Structure 1
Amino acid sequence: MWREMAPDETRTIEVQGHSIVTYSFGSGDDVVFCLNGGPGLPCDYLRDSHSCLVDQGYRVVAFDQLGTGKSDRPTDPALWTITRYVEEVEAVRQALGLGKVHLVGQSWGGWLAIEYALTYPQALKTLVLENTAADIPHLVGELNRLREALGSETVAMMQRHEAEGTLSHPEYQAAVTLLNYRHVCRLSDWPAPVKRSLDDWNMGPYETIQGPNEFTYTGNLKDWNRVPDMHAITVPVLITVGQHDELTPACAMRMKLALPDAELKVFPNSSHMPFFEEPAAFFPVLIDFLARRGGRA
């Protein structure tokens, strides 16, 4: 079960002229390498939810992506591309000598993990795609469906503010807040690691890559679709999703059908963070998959 713990090692490495801060828990050659969501979020929420895998004998590694947390925070928007972040992931893996890893990508980190798996397939033992998608245009259709549940008047209000660029208006923000509590985290009190990540959000990478909020995609990945290429990912894959996830079970199913060796688990009482919302159900699934398909069983 998840709990907050201090990393056994914190290192700063240089990647393409910038300092990247990494966190490592446990030791050994069986590495769970975590890519958190955002973009623009520090890794706290994913690092602190998954570091408990040290109890199973894994070394768990996470890092603050460029522009986030304790890593450097340049302001050049040309840096905020998935291609550059893929190279950053590989640079961290090599600098820390991680060898082949169990790669865990959550939300935006899942997009990054898919892109990385297609670019560096030789670096993976297994791939875990948590609460993510591989087809952004399809995801936008799913998000619009979730928004429609707020009612036609609310949707019309949101569309008006989006058209006029008045996204900071209180009524628009109230609708986004309601969507977040339905589809991002359904807990009435969000865990401390989540709050820390959200309180330190760098909107530069987020707006450049994704858009102004979780339900509006206008960034440079708005047309990204890797479903046609996912047949090339041949390592075992676990896909996890919450029944109420903003990145919906339909998005998860598209990935499963495209992959040659994938398992899919839906958590019925969760949205975007089942590792916090349903930890007693989530972690046995993850641990079982890593043991069976990662060469431990």
Structure 2
Amino acid sequence: MTPEPAWFIAIGVGVVGSFVIHLSQGLMRLGIRDGARGAGRRTWTWGAILNLSAPLWVVVANRFGPTTLYTSMYAVGLLPLLWFSCVRLGRDLRGRDLVGAGIIMVGTALLGLDGLLGDRFSMADVRISPLLATGALTTLLVVPVAWLGKVRPAAPQGILFGILGGTFLALDSLLKGVAQNDSGQAAFLPSTGTGLLIFLLSFAGAAGAFGMVQWAHARNEAPSETVAGYDAAYVAVPVLLVPLALGQGGSVSWLCWTALLLLLGGTALLVRSPDANPAPAPE
């Protein structure tokens, strides 16, 4: 299938948004490390402002193509974040970190290719009930995941918090996509009361994502690990959930499954021992 030219704009917005949001994660972590006053507070504030721009990027991208085109590009900002973690946060950059990030980016590119060449669909046809059910389940998992970190210190808390945060943000993006297509055609803002309600509801997902990331930073989890789980979930959840929400019985192409396996493998490479390379103490 020949992709529509506007779809490439959606992909481009995804790349730019990915760089901005990933670097915001590093800035917030740096601000927390440097303390709550002075430069540390200013750094965290700038990071938070950039991080809260996430809904804006997806609103723009949804105007030009399906939400999955935007989300499939999200992991490309992982390499700049790894560099930031090394240069500004004092963490060792291992070879396997770069390999893992590279594998995640290849998986992301394959998902983008699958989105461009796969079956064409409209976000207007996506049913909202599977999205809401996924949101409720994710919310219920927050407390058990936090409890697991207390009873099993070796558990990859950064990855788990990232997965929950990425799922929340994926739901934010999908709900906005449905709302922006409430009239049957893509628009920057909803045109019906129902669409506006869905649009406003989507911000609960953005708030959940922001909260999970802040929680991970406060627990001194490595940004590269948290964002690896975040990226994997943010990319995988839409491509798995949208076919189900379209009533296609969860049909996913072999190319998509290959990409998801690469994402899983790349994320696994980024997991490190909880005692390895601890973050520097605040100055």
Q: Normalising to structure 2: TM-score of the pair?
A: 0.29
Structure with greater proportional strand content = 1
Q: Does 1 or 2 have the higher relative contact order (CA < 8 Å, sep 6+)?
A: 2
Structure number with higher helix proportion: 2
